[in-house]
Chains A and B, each alone.
Chain A
Amino acid sequence: MQPTYAKRRHRRLEEWMGRTFAGICGWLIVLITVTMIVFLAAKGIQSFTDSGLSLSDMLLSAHWDPNGTPPKYGALIFIVGSMLVSLGALLVSAPLALALAIFMNFIAPKWLVSLLKPVLELLVGIPSVVYGWLGVTLLVPLVREWFGGSGFSLLAGIIVLGMMILPTITSIAADALANVPKAYMEASYGLGSTRWQAISRVIVPAAKTGIATGVVLGLARAFGEALAVQMVIGNTMRLPSGLDSPTATLTSILTMDMANTINGTPWNNALWTLAFLLLLISFFFIAVIRLVGQRKER
């Protein structure tokens, strides 16, 4: 039976409304993102256009003393600190995450897997201030006992961050491993390989782009994490001399000083530049994820 004219019109109206609503939402997100980037960029370059700071000084000098005469805005300490703590966290957590992903996919009994999955999801959901708090009360005293000093250290930051990104990397790696066709495993067994040989020589290489995506995502999260790291790393204005030495990161200097500086001052502008720098670095990581993803499609 042909629908009546009114019904058809109603359907077309419905379709139009749905499409328009979805379109508006989509464009809104794009607009918000672009506005944020433009705003951050505009604020970020004020250091150089308004306050006359030099880019090379900011990126290459380790002398940060905004209260000094003359004030100095060298941010090298924070850039190096952020990199060391993030890469360190990755070194700690990537091998663990991969092992955990393999364990969950091929070794653990079903009941254990169904226990592990929610535990991992829970770990992602714990607020970073809780990680930081645990770090301060449990980890910092431990580091103090092992290495002396105050305990607030690069090492404490690395361990706390490593814990935080472990579930992210694990879930993505586990999915990647699960997506490798069963036939690969069976073929490998058929050729007479042991379980370990099949996993290490066939399954993991086949899933390596997925695993790499997880690793980069973990790195991006580590770079942007502010609170937990700030609570345990010590925030001392110096390049770390070792794992037991305190240092500062881009995010920690931002959270500490942003609220206490006045708009338009060179100090405030320099902080905006650091925020913009953080954005550029996360863009870089996203670009890497995209590249890895594209290789997978081919």
Chain B
Amino acid sequence: MWSKRVKFGLAALLMTGALAGCGQTDNNNSSSAGSNEGGAKKEETYSGTISLAGSTALQPLAEEAANAFMEKYPDVSITVQGGGSGTGVNQVAAGAVQIGNSDVPAAEKLDDKSKASELIDHKVAGIAFAIVVNDDVKIDNLTTEQIQGIFSGKIKNWKEVGGSDEAIHVINRPASSGTRATFEKTVMKDVKINDAIGTVQDSNGAVEQAISSTPGAVSYVAMSYLIGEKKNLKTVKINGAEPTVENIRTEKYPFWSYEYMITKGEAKDEVRAFIDFVKSEEFASTVKQMGYIPMTELE
């Protein structure tokens, strides 16, 4: 009985694999055939395949950029994968992808300095993060010291920072998260996060869900995840400043970082063109729409 089912399942799996394989080749053929004509009209043209992997914070932007770039240069095919900043650095260092996406410069992730020197960081966008709380918390501003107190476990009740009498529930990201690294570097500074309090959620989405369902909860998420209407959740100003481009440029708002596309050696040809495209004036409005900060506004 069982073995029959298993066999059937295996057969089905193989079939789908084979069919999917067929589909892939067909697509490639048709796209390259169609694009040859289109590419000939343009003065400057690129071809080839680019693969990216890494940071999930940068992934939505990278995917959007890939679509726009492929529309412009139909000969180029780009695949974007997630996996986390560590995966990005690993894969590009191993030569498995041309671009590794990361929330932090490669040197900060790699212990081996000789390996790090081969890798080149390209800043492609800025990303702002926000302190978010459940909307039952009656507070709309926190100072850096107050945030440090909350996440180090010294401040345990919202009344200590001017709110109502309600226990604070801290939600952190895992120690290896890029978002958390930025939070530690720009907001916590020398104060250590106390991991024995609160809980840990492993993605921006999970944090968002936990914040909106847990009374008294506080955490930090990327602004790109706060686009659109959010239920039961609100952002809090830091030292009176909102997470706007203006405040970041004037150094009033500390909680932001660059997003990096990392290449092994200097980027060439289509890879170079793609990275330039992400940073370009042309793509800047999309970058902004998606909740990131275009490089054109940071430099």
**Chains A and B bind each other:** yes
Identity of the chain A residue whose Cβ is nearest the Cβ of B84 in the assembled complex: A259
Q: Are B200 and A256 in contact (CB under 8 A)?
A: yes
Residues facing A in B189-243 (CB within 8 A) are: 192, 195-202, 206, 209-210, 213-214, 217
Contact with B along A228-255 (1 / 0, CB 8 A): 0011001111100000001010000101
B90 at the interface (CB under 8 A from A): yes
Expressed in whole angstroms, the minimum distance between the Cβ of B84 and any Cβ of chain A is 3
B182 CB contacts on chain A under 8 angstroms: none
Q: Are B202 and A150 in contact (CB under 8 A)?
A: no
Residues facing A in B158-192 (CB within 8 A) are: 169, 174-178, 184, 192
A67 CB contacts on chain B under 8 angstroms: 175, 184
Q: Are A265 and B84 in contact (CB under 8 A)?
A: no
A136 to B171, CA, bound (A): 14
Taking A150-B198, A260-B177, A264-B111 as known contacts, 20 extra A-B pairs with beta carbons closer than 8 A to each other, sorted by chain A number, are A65-B175, A65-B195, A66-B175, A68-B192, A136-B210, A150-B169, A235-B200, A235-B202, A236-B196, A236-B198, A238-B196, A255-B202, A256-B176, A259-B84, A259-B86, A260-B85, A260-B174, A262-B89, A262-B110, A263-B90
A214 at the interface (CB under 8 A from B): no
Q: Are A257 and B174 in contact (CB under 8 A)?
A: yes
A162 CB contacts on chain B under 8 angstroms: none
Selected contact of A259 from candidates B83, B110, B209, CB within 8 Å: B83
A235 CB contacts on chain B under 8 angstroms: 174, 199-202
Expressed in whole angstroms, the minimum distance between the Cβ of A227 and any Cβ of chain B is 10
Most B CB within 10 A of own CB, among A65, A231, A262: A262
Q: What are 21 A-B residue pairs whose CB atoms fall within 8 Å in the complex?
A: A67-B184, A136-B213, A140-B213, A150-B198, A152-B210, A234-B198, A235-B200, A235-B201, A236-B200, A237-B195, A238-B195, A238-B196, A257-B175, A257-B176, A259-B86, A260-B85, A261-B176, A262-B90, A262-B93, A267-B176, A268-B86
Expressed in whole angstroms, the minimum distance between the Cβ of A64 and any Cβ of chain B is 8
Identity of the chain B residue whose Cβ is nearest the Cβ of A137 in the assembled complex: B213
Expressed in whole angstroms, the minimum distance between the Cβ of B162 and any Cβ of chain A is 22
B86 CB contacts on chain A under 8 angstroms: 259-262, 268
A141 at the interface (CB under 8 A from B): yes
Most A CB within 10 A of own CB, among B83, B197, B201, B206: B201
B84 CB contacts on chain A under 8 angstroms: 259-260
Expressed in whole angstroms, the minimum distance between the Cβ of B58 and any Cβ of chain A is 13
Q: How many A-B residue pairs have CB under 8 A?
A: 86
A264 to B195, CA, bound (A): 25
Most B CB within 10 A of own CB, among A65, A136, A261, A265: A261
A151 at the interface (CB under 8 A from B): yes
Q: Are B176 and A260 in contact (CB under 8 A)?
A: yes
B26 at the interface (CB under 8 A from A): no
B138 at the interface (CB under 8 A from A): no
B269 at the interface (CB under 8 A from A): no
B282 at the interface (CB under 8 A from A): no
B110 CB contacts on chain A under 8 angstroms: 262, 265
Selected contact of B214 from candidates A150, A260, A262, A263, CB within 8 Å: A150
A260 and B178 in contact (CB under 8 A), knowing A237-B196, A265-B111? yes
B112 at the interface (CB under 8 A from A): yes
A234 to B174, CA, bound (A): 11
A208 at the interface (CB under 8 A from B): no
A63 to B243, CA, bound (A): 35
A68 CB contacts on chain B under 8 angstroms: 192
B144 at the interface (CB under 8 A from A): no
Q: Are B199 and A236 in contact (CB under 8 A)?
A: yes
Identity of the chain B residue whose Cβ is nearest the Cβ of A62 in the assembled complex: B196
Expressed in whole angstroms, the minimum distance between the Cβ of A52 and any Cβ of chain B is 13
A144 at the interface (CB under 8 A from B): yes
Q: Are B202 and A256 in contact (CB under 8 A)?
A: yes
Q: Are A231 and B206 in contact (CB under 8 A)?
A: yes
B87 at the interface (CB under 8 A from A): yes
B201 CB contacts on chain A under 8 angstroms: 235
A259 CB contacts on chain B under 8 angstroms: 83-84, 86-87
A248 CB contacts on chain B under 8 angstroms: 200
Residues facing A in B229-279 (CB within 8 A) are: none
A102 to B112, CA, bound (A): 60
A140 to B210, CA, bound (A): 10
Contact with B along A144-173 (1 / 0, CB 8 A): 100001111000000000000000000000
Expressed in whole angstroms, the minimum distance between the Cβ of B96 and any Cβ of chain A is 11
Identity of the chain B residue whose Cβ is nearest the Cβ of A67 in the assembled complex: B175
B288 at the interface (CB under 8 A from A): no
Which 9 A-B residue pairs are closest in the complex by CB-CB distance? A259-B84, A260-B176, A234-B199, A235-B200, A237-B195, A256-B174, A260-B86, A238-B196, A260-B84
Expressed in whole angstroms, the minimum distance between the Cβ of B233 and any Cβ of chain A is 15
A265 CB contacts on chain B under 8 angstroms: 110-111
Selected contact of B217 from candidates A150, A230, A261, A264, CB within 8 Å: A150
Expressed in whole angstroms, the minimum distance between the Cβ of B243 and any Cβ of chain A is 24
Contact with B along A203-229 (1 / 0, CB 8 A): 000000000000000000000000000
B156 CB contacts on chain A under 8 angstroms: none
